[in-house]
Amino acid sequence: MLILNQEEVKQIIPLSQIDKVVKCVESAFLKHGKGEVDMPPKTYLFFKKDKGDLRIMPSFSEELGMAGTKIVNVHPDNPKNNLPTVGAVIVLNDAKTGIPIAFMDGTYITGVRTGAAGAVASKYLAKKDAKTLGVIGAGQQAIFQIAATACTIKLQDILVYDVNEKSIELLSVELEKIGIKIRKAGLEEVSKQDILTTTTPSRDPIVKNEWVMPGMHINAVGADAEGKEELDPTIYKRAKIVVDDWIQASHSGEINVPVAKGMITKSDIYGSLGEIVAGIKIGRENNEEITVFDSTGLGIQDLFTAVMVYEEALKRGAGKNIEIF
């Protein structure tokens, strides 16, 4: 079994080459839209006493001949003990034999594949002449969202808001290293850009309906568990809502709270990003439409990215081989 640690994964897909991940994730959505992947919704284990959870995300692609399972935790109190909030691993199994062939860090892959989903959604749902990006939340996820979106959209201005200004400074330093400039702005101004990406762990709406302009596209990324939400739900009355996966989105995505309150039902959802990438449904139809992409994170995003990393690692002779059986 090939073992790849985070440093080895990063060497194969550095931030400056996130475009490789955007391509993988776009083909993952294409296969999802065509119904050519098998992916049960993610399973959650809640550790109430320890204030954390563990998510198990299996998926399989016949075309790749591989199955992948990501095991990922979210423990918000970990940083107090100098541990990361999120720590993920991905196991790849060869479909022919079922034997596990690779075990790799999934934390960095989670970051890049989530950024890539925002980039793919922006490519299909933002208006053609979109040139400004607003980002709310300047934490771990923001860097990947910005770097990936810059691959699919010619951005002229990137505005960032965070309750913690220090996070914006750190983000700015990291993005400068790959030639991307951002600027700090107020919450309302950030919320009014051609593309808005929200990536906070908020449990209360941050973006007001009155700030959302006709023609905007919103990537709602931060809500990935029950009770989380970042958008004023009245926005959905004016918007075309696109999900990555209805079951996941209705339980744990941006729409989970309005769904639980009965403000949104399945019939209010336009479709999935996969259906749009596959050409089964049209993406944006005019320059006035408001579009919202609810990203919960799919196992196939991890699988397609991890298979690319595995194949590249074999070519480079990277990682360590360990005999398990």
Ligand X SMILES: NC(=O)c1ccc[n+]([C@@H]2O[C@H](COP(=O)([O-])OP(=O)(O)OC[C@H]3O[C@@H](n4cnc5c(N)ncnc54)[C@H](O)[C@@H]3O)[C@@H](O)[C@H]2O)c1
CB 321 within 8 A of CB 1: yes
Binding of ligand X by 162 (CB under 6 A): yes
C-alpha span between 282 and 126 (Å, rounded):
12
CB 69 within 8 A of CB 43: no
The correct pick among 45, 83, 163, 213 for binding ligand X (CB under 6 A) is 163
Binding of ligand X by 52 (CB under 6 A): no
Q: Is the CB of 106 or the CB of 222 nearer to ligand X?
A: 222
What tokens were used for 236? Answer: 């959905």
The correct pick among 43, 156, 164, 265 for binding ligand X (CB under 6 A) is 164
Q: Is the CB of 26 or the CB of 162 nearer to ligand X?
A: 162
Q: 207: which DSSP letter?
A: B
Closest CA to 26 of 113, 110, 131, 108: 113
CB of 140 to ligand X, least distance (A): 3
Strand partners, 195: 133, 217
| Part in contact with ligand X (CB under 6 A); list of ranges 10-18, 51-59, 290-298, 303-311 | 290-298
- Structure-derived torsion over alpha carbons of residues 255, 260, 264, 270, reported in degrees to the nearest 10: 50
C-alpha distance from residue 266 to each of 50, 249, 277 (Å)? 34, 10, 20
The correct pick among 202, 250, 252, 256 for binding ligand X (CB under 6 A) is 202
Binding of ligand X by 201 (CB under 6 A): yes
Q: Residue holding tokens 């996070």?
A: 167
Q: Is the CB of 194 or the CB of 244 nearer to ligand X?
A: 244
C-alpha span between 158 and 193 (Å, rounded):
9
Q: Is 70 designated active site?
A: yes
Q: How many CA atoms lie within 13 A of 99 on its CB side?
A: 8
Binding of ligand X by 99 (CB under 6 A): no
Q: Is the CB of 61 or the CB of 199 nearer to ligand X?
A: 199
CB of 291 to ligand X, least distance (A): 17
The correct pick among 2, 221, 259, 290 for binding ligand X (CB under 6 A) is 221
CB of 168 to ligand X, least distance (A): 8
CB of 194 to ligand X, least distance (A): 20
Read off φ and ψ for residue 113, nearest 5 degrees: -75, -25
Binding of ligand X by 296 (CB under 6 A): yes
* Angle, vertex CA 114, rays to CA 16 and CA 318, nearest 5: 55
CB 113 within 8 A of CB 305: yes
Binding of ligand X by 275 (CB under 6 A): no
Q: Is the CB of 221 or the CB of 255 nearer to ligand X?
A: 221
Q: Is the CB of 193 or the CB of 296 nearer to ligand X?
A: 296
C-alpha span between 285 and 281 (Å, rounded):
10
CB of 289 to ligand X, least distance (A): 22
Active-site annotation holder among 31, 42, 70, 127 = 70
Query: Which of the residues 110 through 129 are near ligand X (CB under 6 A)?
Result: 110, 114
Strand partners, 241: 269, 292
Strand partners, 198: 136, 220
CB of 311 to ligand X, least distance (A): 23
Task: List the catalytic residues.
Answer: 70
Binding site for ligand X (CB under 6 A): 110, 114, 136-141, 161-164, 167, 199-202, 206, 221-222, 224, 295-297
